[in-house]
Amino acid sequence: MARRPTPTKKKKPVKRSGTAKRNPKKTGGLRRLMLGGAIFAGALSAVIAAGSLLELDRASRQTVVTPASTDPVQVTPREQPSREYDFSNGTGRENRTGYMVGRPAPRKDSPAVEPQAQTAAIPDDLPPSVAPVPDVMSGSEDLPWRKYAALTPQTGPAPVIAIVIDDAGLDQARTARTLDLPGQVTISYLPYARDLQRQVNDARAKGHEVMLHMPMEPSSAFVDPGPHVLKTEYDRVAILSEISWMLEQFDGYVGINNHMGSKFTSDPAGMQVLMDVLKSRGLLFLDSKTSAKSVGYGLARENSIPALERDVFIDDADDAEKIAGMLQRIERVASKQGYAIAIGHPRDLTLDALQRWIPEMQAKGFVFVPATNILRRNGVNATG
């Protein structure tokens, strides 16, 4: 007997749970998670940028001040354009600052070179304790640290202050502000900045002295010193290659000081390669002292290279109150030892403070001079 097919029972629709109804909020939660990740990444980038300031740890003190804010400039390696220089003054390319690593020093019996108009006079009666390099301290006026020295007035017994503004060249607007400070300063330019020769020419035309700010490896792997940095892992050939590239980027500097370099300046082997170049070029060395372990100043003295060592960092913290405290420290140091060497950077707070402070110090009898003036006052070496 045939049976009627049993109709299929329709399944009752399943009611959506309250959780399912809130699915759109899951998307919102994902967005919040992504936003939180972005905020964290931004904060991490800020910490890494601030690390460049922490590289300026004060060797005379063990505490490190974290800056309240920074204005980092991102630098990426790039090919540098070929540069043309004006040698109409009779200086050949082979004699340009740092042109050829290993160029032999001029012979002692060679004719004396007539000092150029911008060359400051150098006293011949250096202290007997100084062991000069032949032809480096014995009257050869064409050596870069003397040839490109900025002219300074006679200071007599007045205490002198050398302000060095480094990290120059990248931020061209703030670097240009440095040229308008009311006293002579020494400006140290990074070799991978743009329009370097024009910037340097402008600085020298206003009576300022110029140095090359040479990037060296920091201790922290999270701090970026920029391209062409000198590293402890490099052999002599690699170090010479990077130094040669940097020395070629512009002309008219009296010497170099280290950009960062808390790791590299603590490495005697790598620093000796640098000293060999400075000695052959007749360039001075200013140890920025980004580490208490730096061997730079000591090696420079051993190699009889004109050497300086900074006394005070003006703005290792980009904070107006702390900058004011560092300026007071400069005054104390200069009053005590007769001179002070201070390093700062082209930042608004620093430049604003110096704009007010320099005239105040001049009214007290302090004289602002380029770095080479302190070398002439103290022989080839000046320690902070």
Among 32-36, 43-47, 224-228, which stretch is predicted with the lowest mean pLDDT?
Answer: 43-47
- Measured N-to-C along each axis, helices 348-363 and 320-337 cross at an angle, to the nearest 10 degrees, of 40
**Bridge pairing between strands 186-189 and 312-313:** unpaired
Looking at residue 141, its pLDDT comes to: 76
Question: How confident is the model over 246-250, as a mean pLDDT?
Answer: 97
- Residue 149: band (very low, low, confident or very high) from pLDDT cuts 50, 70, 90: very high
pLDDT score of 129 more than 70: no
- Residue 238's pLDDT is what? 97
Q: What is the mean pLDDT of the chain?
A: 76
Q: 102 or 201, which is more confident? A: 201
CA distance 24 to 318: 45
Whether pLDDT at 159 is above 50: yes
Q: What is the mean pLDDT of residues 267-271?
A: 97
pLDDT, residue 9, reads: 56
pLDDT at 139: 47
Task: Evaluate if pTM is beyond 0.85.
Answer: no
In the structure, what pLDDT confidence band is assigned to residue 156 with cuts at 50, 70 and 90?
Answer: confident
- The model's pLDDT over 160-210, given as tens digits with 9 standing for 90+, comes to 999 999 999 999 999 999 999 999 999 999 999 999 999 999 999 999 999
Q: How confident is the model at residue 44 (pLDDT cuts 50, 70, 90)?
A: very low
**What is the model's pLDDT at position 380?**
55
Tens-place pLDDT, residues 334-371 = 999 999 999 999 999 999 999 999 999 999 999 999 99
Which domains are assigned to the chain? 49-59+133-382 (3.20.20.370)
- Of the chain, the end-to-end C-alpha distance in Å amounts to 117
Band the pLDDT of 39: cuts 50, 70, 90: low
pLDDT of residue 126: 30
Residue 59, pLDDT score? 42
Q: What is the predicted pLDDT for the residue at 152?
A: 86
* Surface-to-core class of residue 286, CB atoms within 10 Å of its CB (0-12 exposed, 13-18 middle, 19+ buried): buried
Higher pLDDT, 88 or 364: 364
- What is the predicted pLDDT for the residue at 305? 96
* Rounded CA separation 372/120 (Å): 9
Provide the pLDDT for residue 154.
82
Q: What is the pLDDT of residue 20?
A: 46
pLDDT of residue 106: 36
What pLDDT score was predicted for residue 40? 55
Encoded amino acid at 273, one letter: V
CA distance 165 to 219: 22
Q: CA-to-CA distance for 79 and 70, rounded, in angstroms?
A: 27
